[in-house]
Structure 1
Amino acid sequence: MTVDTAYNEPENTEVLVKAVDPAQPACLAELHYAHAGDAGADLKAAERVELKPFERALVPTGVAIALPAGYVGLVHPRSGLAAKQGVTVLNAPGTIDAGYRGEIKVPLINLDPEHTVRFEVGDRIAQLVIQRYVEARFVPATALPGSDRAERGFGSTGVSAA
């Protein structure tokens, strides 16, 4: 049996990207993946931001996108910012619906209890993951089918039913 070790390129979906202000640096209007196979494209700060400990800010990116129907943009934290500086995306992942055409803004929070964090224009602040989604058709029901988990909720995995 042979294993194909060649990297298989995924299908590409076209997403239109527009600079919110044409006078901004060109790097802001460019969304791209840092490495082949990356799921997230870098989102960059469009203005200088300073976050004191436990402070939050809605940081503009300078870009707007047009997603095709059936796709969603998910704004995720950058793992390096979280691990090294304690900065994360407040509502992670943030949702960008296919019909939204406004500027992407990222709600960042500094969870470091001691250090202020500064971002300059063009600094990477988050990552954008594009995914297909299924639009559900919700059907009213008076009862739901059974399952192994049933109604056991938070913290119930691995706990035997009493």
Structure 2
Amino acid sequence: MDIQHVPVKVKKLREDAVIPAYAKAMDAGFDLVAVEDILVGPGETAKVQTGLAFAIPAGFELQIRPRSGISAKTKLRLPNAPGTIDAGYRGEVCVLIENTRLASGEKGNECFSVGEAKISTAEAVDVNAYFIKKGDRVAQGVLGRVPQAIFEEVDELDETERGAGGFGSSGVRVLK
């Protein structure tokens, strides 16, 4: 099967920014890398800079998604995942990262890293804080097609088996 390649222009806003690349040939996502050191305290959300701006082609979006390793090994989450970078946006792409750990009330000169190892800090911080280092891979980007809807106001919608059944309407168990 042939992989579709879509040209995407990338501008470095900082000399030390890392141009994205796919780690493996059939990967869906490419890594986004922090260009700054940043401390994310317990319960805080930080905007992590990538130092990159993109020209996403019309009809596409750039989705910002969590890296599975970070989600599995840490309490760092992307609160708006997947985030959407629209084709018309030309500013810096940043990654919102939330530390879901609770404040411990205990201060020390160690906190967690993205890899969940303890690292030393120059100043005393809550021990449940995370320190993101410049060069850490913090999220992944996925290019996706985005059709645009043509809206038509109607008085009635067609009937379906589900109808207006919403949250939980199909139950939670598969086996009976």
> Which of the five TM-score ranges fits, normalised by the shorter chain?
0.7 to 0.9
Paired residue for 1:44, among 33, 44, 54?
Answer: 33
In the alignment, what sits opposite 1:76?
65
Paired residue for 2:156, among 131, 143, 153?
Answer: 143
Matched to 2:4, the amino acid is E
Deviations 1:68-110 (A, max 9, x none): 1100110001111111111111101100000101000111001
In the alignment, what sits opposite 1:14?
7
2: CA distance between counterparts of 1:133 and 1:102?
20
Instruction: Decide whether the 8 Å contact of 1:17 with 1:29 is kept in 2.
Output: no
Residues 21-36 of structure 1 aligned to structure 2 (within 5 Å): 21=14, 24-25=15-16, 28-36=17-25
Deviation of 1:148 (Å): 1.5
Query: Hey, which of these two has a bigger chunk of strand by percent?
Result: 2
Paired residue for 1:134, among 123, 137, 147?
Answer: 147
Deviations 1:8-58 (A, max 9, x none): 34110000011012xx32xx2311111111111100111111112221111
1: CA distance between counterparts of 2:12 and 2:161?
49
In the alignment, what sits opposite 1:123?
136
Instruction: Decide whether the 8 Å contact of 1:64 with 1:104 is kept in 2.
Output: yes
TM-score in terms of structure 1 length: 0.86
Aligned pair count reads: 148
In the alignment, what sits opposite 2:52?
63
Q: Say what the alpha-carbon RMSD is for the aligned residues.
A: 1.3
In the alignment, what sits opposite 1:100?
89
Matched to 1:17, the amino acid is V
Deviation of 1:158 (Å): 3.3
2: CA distance between counterparts of 1:98 and 1:65?
9
Deviation of 1:156 (Å): 1.0
Instruction: Decide whether the 8 Å contact of 2:49 with 2:92 is kept in 1.
Output: yes
1: CA distance between counterparts of 2:29 and 2:129?
26
In the alignment, what sits opposite 1:3?
none
5+ residue gaps, structure 1: 1-7
SS of residue paired to 1:29 = coil
TM-score in terms of structure 2 length: 0.80
5+ residue gaps, structure 2: 105-127
2: CA distance between counterparts of 1:148 and 1:133?
28
